[in-house]
Amino acid sequence: MNLKIAVLPGDGIGPEVTEQAIKVLNAIAINFNHKVSYTYADVGAIAIDNHNDPLPETTLQICKKNDAILFGAIGDPKYDNDPSAKIRPEQGLLKLRKELGLFANIRPVKAYKTLLKKSPLRKKIIKGTDISIYRELTGGLYFGEKKLSEDGNTASDLCTYSRHEIERITHMAFKAAKARKNKVTLVDKANVLESSRLWRKVVTEIGKQYPKVNLDFLFVDNAAMQMIQNPKQFDVILTENLFGDIISDEASVIGGSIGLLASASVGNKYAMFEPIHGSYPQATGKGIANPVASILSAAMLLDYFELYEEAEMIRKAVDKSLVLQITTPDLNKKFDNVTTSKVGDFIEDFINNPEDSNLNFSNIYLGQSTII
């Protein structure tokens, strides 16, 4: 297959982790006889600095002309810490989602056996957790009308959803559940919000078209508690934009690090793949950023093009890196010499040499030997 990918590294650690994902994709291309080409473009704070626009038109056109988008991270303290800033890096990401019609964000959450002790939650609570979160991405509060009074003392954000917006992601969630454990949990606030009551009405109607899939409901405050107390109960979580943003970030504690969580943002025509973490400016250039989420996002990109064997090879390589503790400091307290690029190098090498021994890999990447 010949894939053309738009690469938007963004800000902070975005370029560092994206570089590792590309390294891994190149190894896949070589070993599975594919051709992958990349076109780079600015987005976020770097785009404001270079173009005075968080999403330049040139970047948008590059995204539209390529088969998929690999996204890094956006954000910079000079904008985050300035409440009066009219132009913000996040505006670029929101506009990109809207312009490309990326209405569904899919976030897998998994408890890795080798990392159960890394989570702040008890092992018996999280063991076996495997969740897929379907978050509506182009509606709700993030895209509603925003008002600030002339005196600056009153503000409002409008949360609006249409039946169409709810229907299209609901069908995706139910189809995903059919291929998993046949359960969908709608997370809403239908006891208070009119928009949530519409969600519940529409999802209930659509659920009748999938008789083998069990549908249940949780208010978002209860869901936040249940995510900590009993995450194994969830299969597919379906929710609106704001609730999905919060719930999926909360779920990152299950894996032990937000640096493990990948995501796909898809629509009818375009698709974008990105780690869920932010730009983490404090870690920029230090070699401590965890690239696994970006690398697993690359695996989701391959899944999107039905390259399942290739995607599974990346996941096996990630699993091996976790088993051998070839991981960055957020997960690794045993070795202090594993950098962002070393993790990428290891996963690349595993793809090139999947039959090599654990000892050889450990010797090379942990610096215990120079002989294979």
**Residue of 245, 270, 280, 342 marked catalytic:** 245
Amino acid at 321: S
**Residue of 67, 249, 330, 345 marked catalytic:** 249
Distance CA 177, CA 61 (A): 34
142 is catalytic: yes
**Residue of 147, 221, 308, 333 marked catalytic:** 221
67 is catalytic: no
DSSP string covering 130-141: EEEEEEE-SSST
183 is catalytic: no
DSSP string covering 153-206: S-EEE-----HHHHHHHHHHHHHHHHTTTSEEEEEE-TTT-HHHHHHHHHHHHH
49 is catalytic: no
**Residue of 110, 189, 320, 342 marked catalytic:** 189
Question: In DSSP terms, which residues pair with 265 in a beta bridge?
Answer: 105, 272
Whole-number Cα distances in Å, 21 to 9, 28, 283:
11, 11, 18
Q: Is 329 buried (19+), middle (13-18) or exposed (0-12) by CB count in 10 A?
A: middle
221 is catalytic: yes
The H or E element containing residue 63 is: helix 57-65
**Residue of 79, 142, 280, 365 marked catalytic:** 142
Q: What share of the chain is helix, strand, coil (3-state, %, to 5)?
A: 45, 20, 35
Whole-number Cα distances in Å, 184 to 174, 188, 266, 335:
7, 13, 19, 40
The H or E element containing residue 253 is: helix 252-255
Please give the positions annotated as active site.
Answer: 142, 189, 221, 245, 249
